[in-house]
Amino acid sequence: MVVTGVGAVTPLGNDAETFWTNLTAGKSGAAAIQQFDPSEFAVHFACELKDFDPTNWIEHRKARKLDRFAQMIVAAARMAEADSGFEIEPETDRVGVSVATGIGGLKSFQDCYDQLLERGPDRVNPFSIPAIIPNMGAAWVSMELGTRGPLWSECTACAASNMAIGQALDDIRLGRADVMLAGGTEAGITKVGIGGFGAMRALSRRNDDPESASRPFDAERDGFVMGEAGAIVVLEELEHARARDAKIYAELGGYGISSDAQHITEPDPTGVHPARAMRMAMDDAGVGPEDIDYINAHGTSTPIGDASETRVIKNALGEEKARKTPVSSTKGATGHCLGASGAIEAITSIFATQRDIVPPTINYEYPDPECDLDYIPNESREWKTDVALSNNFGFGGHNACLVIKKFEG
């Protein structure tokens, strides 16, 4: 199974190439929140999109009906379709969509509630429910592009995008589709999003220095930075791609999933169950620990989570191999984009294998004894990368891992 197109809107740029350029340059997407006045909140910053105009991708009157999370994924899908060179025929039933989100239309939910309180039930926007429900990101991609194949909407917190891509892989394997657009989207930078995660003490409170606030694996990390993004990859079976002479970015080797059955927010302290997802992905791809060249970590910049993932990687690869394998978290730059994380990190891993460059973990200054691997501090590295792993772990114990392989032709 191969990747023939990519599309993304991210805090580091509103297309995949700009995102990659800024990511590998070590830039941060964090800044003061612009979407609302955060002065009354404990956290005043986030990793927002810059200069994103949905009407570049969606007709103006229609765009007003979509929540921001759906607008972003439609934009990413149109970019990915164009990048792939694959023209979707009208009403085709051989092209499918698998789009994840962790929360869905949070801004629309908040607006609906505010209207209810301020103006009464008769004045609630009739488009509120279709804007709120999490499946509408996938649904709008399907409606806008005209696909009639499998249509999925995974909602498994921060593991959702990896599961969406894994589901798309299986749909092609099982003969349900020839082409799948798969990815994720999240627009949680709202009053209720920042307020809710802030109340959990999950967010960094470095209001005086937003750009250095997200610092995965660093000893002074104090929580994640909220991000937003939409990203999609186009997947095809190899012979289908060759038949139309498509450019090929990488091979999607396999995926693995597991559950912690542990806690609503805290990860499995042993690392056994997330490591099982990593090993399952390697088995599915026909590779072993010795073949892994790079790991794009979940690495959220939380004290418990990053230490736990270090144990997970050692468990999955073995202590000796884990210490030799470069690991980075791109959330230092993008923030934590929740249900969209896996999609933008899959694109990161795809480019890493295609270009033999691994991106840095920015803001890494102070080593943590519990996090003792090679985290590619602060600067990108030229590194032969034939096989990459991409981890994502979600609240409630959802674990998912993808294997991305260099395409050898």
240 is catalytic: no
> Fold identical between 2-243 and 255-406?
yes
Specify the pLDDT at position 267. Answer: 82
Specify the pLDDT at position 90. Answer: 81
Specify the pLDDT at position 65. Answer: 94
- 336, 337, 371, 401: the active-site residue: 336
Specify the pLDDT at position 24. Answer: 98
44 is catalytic: no
The series of mean pLDDT values per 10 residues for the chain, 409 residues long, is 98 98 98 97 98 96 95 98 93 93 96 93 92 97 96 97 98 97 98 95 96 98 98 97 97 96 82 94 98 98 96 97 98 98 98 98 97 98 98 94 95
- 155, 158, 371, 401: the active-site residue: 158
Specify the pLDDT at position 263. Answer: 86
Q: What separation in angstroms does the CA of 317 have from each of 282, 290, 292, 323, 390?
A: 10, 8, 9, 9, 14
Q: Radius of gyration (Cα) for the chain, nearest Å?
A: 20
Q: Is the CATH number of domain 255-406 3.30.2000.10?
A: no
Q: In what order do the strands lie in the sheet with 387-394?
A: 151-152, 95-100, 179-186, 229-236, 2-9, 250-259, 398-406, 387-394, 294-296, 327-328
Specify the pLDDT at position 262. Answer: 83
- 112, 298, 337, 398: the active-site residue: 298
Give me the residue spans of the domains in the chain.
Answer: 2-243, 255-406
273 is catalytic: no
CATH match for 2-243 among 3.40.800.10, 3.40.47.10, 3.30.1540.10, 3.40.50.300: 3.40.47.10
**Beta strand extents in 89-227 (DSSP E only):** 95-100, 151-152, 179-186
Q: Can you list the alpha helix ranges (DSSP code H) found in 184-302?
A: 191-199, 238-243, 272-285
Specify the pLDDT at position 19. Answer: 98
